[in-house]
Chains A and B, each alone.
Chain A
């Protein structure tokens, strides 16, 4: 089995005496995978990326790339390349000169440089603009130049710091697909930093969710979305309903209103206060006289708001626990709509919920 591409052990970064940007991070990123570091602004994901690249040193801890300890090595001695958020293309050089920069620094032979630059420009479809200056290119093209400039050096790991942030929505979505495909073809490990959870979910093999300098959960996209292990992760990814309940059995709990519902077995003791995390799409509204599937939870609800999103309907319903519950219903032909003020049953399968213990 190949060594992991990047291994962070006990990595902490302190600025001065009081600011802790990253706290005791342990993370293993596998060879050849597309890994995303996801979190809100200030969570430490960019700092972590910079420590892998060498632009910052950890205050303590170990950063290993394919088994080699990086220690205090400066970025120009690490087998890693970065695609910057601002692209950082050298404005006084042409596209070709930009892309060839790293190879020239490593004193690669001229004909070899020409060959590799031509090949990578072809890969990102910019061969026609080889002699242009960055200022003459659109945002999307600049982004591809930045990518080419990094990839041409065949690094062991490629770091990407929110590279799609400056692009408009359609272009961004197109680039997401392109990047994912590129990574698959090239086979290099990609470490991708973003605050956009949609982006992370669609592109990544695995995601690491960070908040306040800590790594909260690492796993495949499906795991992160469907089985969040903390309140923060549950809330950060997608829409979620978070309901506080008190356990009163191994698989049942009481709501604040006293009503009892079924919950998945989760290792929580009776009497514990836990949070139930429910995705809106796992909830359904039933008519008061409709038959409800066996074993499902059922709560009396009153619709307080209905929003139309084209492909789905969002309902806010009041079940008497103080906060409203969000329900997502697919807009199928012939779907039954509920009006504001109407009463219905809120129904879900106990297994569809997640017990979040924090």
Chain B
């Protein structure tokens, strides 16, 4: 791709300025928030001295710690389950043809474009109805709690994992799997020794996405959680509606930094794994060099 010829100098400068402005816009709030969290004064607008006071308060706040613990538990389980199921879905859709594949393909993409409010409503009604029926049938009254939250997170994460893994899978030269079979590998051996290592970056990316979605989620969690079981974002959301406090600043900063670190790690891993096993270049382009006929 030739960069120089596409845009004139002056246009390029304007584009550059715009880019800087956008970056400024994106990062200024984050930087400001982090700065404020270190402000010792309880009045957020009066800058006193930097301190870790609010971080200390945060760690001693039982509600915050509880919510954090819940968030981590839910995120852990929902990430693992949705990554496994999502990867299997991606493989089935990308490598096989079966009846109902079209329908599954359609259903699998819906959670991605549906807004979280709708998802929250759907799952609220679902659990309510199902628990009601169960109670009528066997007399056991289940309640909303960490279980329903986890199940809900898995529900919307599967599709995202599948999309990421599928993208990676489609770039894989599928003659690699044929080569493995040609060299006496069984289906499972070929998957374990060839396919899996090569889609690992995609699976990791999908897992990261599932993790982020779970840790980020507010509305769905709010709707399907019960008394006493709340996650960190939902708890913070509740606090925020009552007003800005430095405690929230500290909690927010920590959440922010944690997610940024996660991103950094995953991006680093992905770039490192690079372009292993991608389909070879277009044969036409390769044949440009070899001019026989």
Any A–B CB pair closer than 8 Å? yes
Nearest-neighbor residue (CB-CB) of B184 within chain A: A105
Interface stretch among A79-87, A248-256, A338-346? A79-87
A81 touches B182 (CB 8 A): yes
Q: How far is the CB of B50 from chain A (nearest CB, A)?
A: 47
B181 touches A92 (CB 8 A): no
A172 touches B292 (CB 8 A): yes
Residues from 247 to 293 in B contacting A, C-beta threshold 8 Å: 276-277, 279-280, 283, 286-287, 289-293
* B residues in contact with A81, CB < 8 Å: 182-183
Q: Any chain B CB within 8 A of the CB of A74?
A: yes
B290 touches A88 (CB 8 A): no
Q: Any chain A CB within 8 A of the CB of B189?
A: yes
Nearest-neighbor residue (CB-CB) of A99 within chain B: B183
Nearest-neighbor residue (CB-CB) of B200 within chain A: A92
Q: How far is the CA of A53 from the CA of B176 in the complex (A)?
A: 15
Residues from 15 to 48 in B contacting A, C-beta threshold 8 Å: none
A168 touches B181 (CB 8 A): no
Give 11 A-B contacts (CB < 8 Å), ordered by A residue.
A55-B178, A55-B182, A74-B181, A76-B184, A81-B183, A82-B179, A86-B279, A101-B193, A149-B183, A166-B283, A172-B292
A interface residues (Cβ-Cβ under 8 A, vs B): 53-55, 74-76, 80-82, 84-86, 88-92, 101-102, 105-106, 135, 149-150, 153, 165-169, 172, 196, 198
Nearest-neighbor residue (CB-CB) of A92 within chain B: B197
Known: A92-B197, A105-B189, A165-B283. A86 touches B292 (CB 8 A): no
Known: A81-B183, A196-B292. A86 touches B194 (CB 8 A): no
Nearest-neighbor residue (CB-CB) of B189 within chain A: A105
Most B Cβ at <10 Å: residue of A55, A86, A106, A165: A86
Q: Taking chain A's interface residues, is the majority helix, strand, or loop, or is none over half, making it mixed? A: loop
* B residues in contact with A84, CB < 8 Å: 175, 178-179
Number of B interface residues in the complex (CB < 8 A) = 29
Q: How far is the CB of A118 from chain B (nearest CB, A)?
A: 18
A86 touches B175 (CB 8 A): yes
Nearest-neighbor residue (CB-CB) of B277 within chain A: A91
* A residues in contact with B183, CB < 8 Å: 76, 81, 101-102, 105, 149, 153
Q: Any chain A CB within 8 A of the CB of B210?
A: no
| The 3 A-B residue pairs with the shortest CB-CB distance in the complex, in nearest-first order | A102-B183, A88-B179, A105-B184
Q: Any chain A CB within 8 A of the CB of B135?
A: no
Q: How far is the CA of A168 from the CA of B277 in the complex (A)?
A: 23
Q: How far is the CB of B219 from chain A (nearest CB, A)?
A: 41
A166 touches B277 (CB 8 A): no
* A residues in contact with B182, CB < 8 Å: 53, 55, 75-76, 80-82, 102, 150
B184 touches A106 (CB 8 A): yes
B179 touches A76 (CB 8 A): no
Q: How far is the CB of A83 from chain B (nearest CB, A)?
A: 9
* A residues in contact with B186, CB < 8 Å: 76
* B residues in contact with A53, CB < 8 Å: 182
Q: How far is the CA of A187 from the CA of B91 in the complex (A)?
A: 40
A92 touches B290 (CB 8 A): no
Out of A76, A135, A167, name the residue touching B181 (CB < 8 Å): A76
Q: Any chain A CB within 8 A of the CB of B185?
A: yes
Q: Any chain A CB within 8 A of the CB of B180?
A: yes
Out of A86, A102, A168, A169, name the residue touching B184 (CB < 8 Å): A102
